[in-house]
Amino acid sequence: MRIDAAPVRTAQPSVEDGRMRYLLIEDGPDVARAIAQHFAGRGHSVDHAPTLDSARDFLAVQAYDAMILDLNLPDGNGMGLLREVRRAAQSVPVLILSVNHGIETRLEGFDAGADDYLFKPFDMRELEARLRGLVQRQSDDRGRVARIGRVEIDFAGRQIRHEGQNLALSAKDFALVEVLVLNMNRPVAKAVLQDKLYGFASGEVSPNAIELRIARIRKKLEGTGVTIRALWGIGYQIEPEG
- Residue 49, pLDDT > 50, answer yes
Specify whether the CB–CB gap between 195 and 204 falls below 8 A: no
What's the farthest any 2 CA atoms get from each other in the chain? Answer: 59
Specify whether the CB–CB gap between 65 and 21 falls below 8 A: yes
CA distance 64 to 44: 11
Residue 16: CB atoms within 10 Å: 8
Give SS3 for 112. Answer: helix
Q: Which of 9-13, 31-35, 112-116 has the lowest mean pLDDT?
A: 9-13
pLDDT-derived band at 2 (thresholds 50, 70, 90) equals: very low
Strand order across the 21-25 sheet: 2-3, 45-49, 21-25, 66-69, 94-98, 116-119
- Residue 80, pLDDT > 90, answer yes
Q: How far is CA 46 from CA 9, 17, 117, 133, 199, in A?
A: 12, 16, 19, 17, 23
CA 51 to chain centre: 20
Q: Which of 46-55, 138-147, 209-218 has the lowest mean pLDDT?
A: 138-147
Residue-level pLDDT at 15:
41
In this predicted model, what pLDDT tens digit does every residue of 187-241 receive, in sequence order?
A: 888 888 887 777 655 556 677 889 999 999 999 999 999 999 999 888 899 998 8
Taking the CA atoms of 216, 220, 222 and 228 in sequence, report the sign of the dihedral they define.
Answer: negative
Q: Which domains does the chain have, with CATH numbers?
A: 2-142 (3.40.50.2300), 145-240 (1.10.10.10)
Residue-level pLDDT at 126:
94
- Quick one: average pLDDT of 112-131? 91
pTM over 0.85: no
- Residue 10, pLDDT > 60, answer no
Specify whether the CB–CB gap between 162 and 224 falls below 8 A: yes
CA distance 63 to 172: 18
CA distance 50 to 60: 16
- Residue 166, pLDDT > 80, answer yes
Residue-level pLDDT at 141:
57
- Quick one: average pLDDT of 156-170? 86
Residue with more model confidence, 5 or 61: 61
Q: How far is CA 162 from CA 131, 167, 232, in A?
A: 36, 7, 28
Helix (H) / strand (E) element for 193: namely helix 190-198
Residue-level pLDDT at 102:
84
**% of the chain surpassing 70 pLDDT:** 86
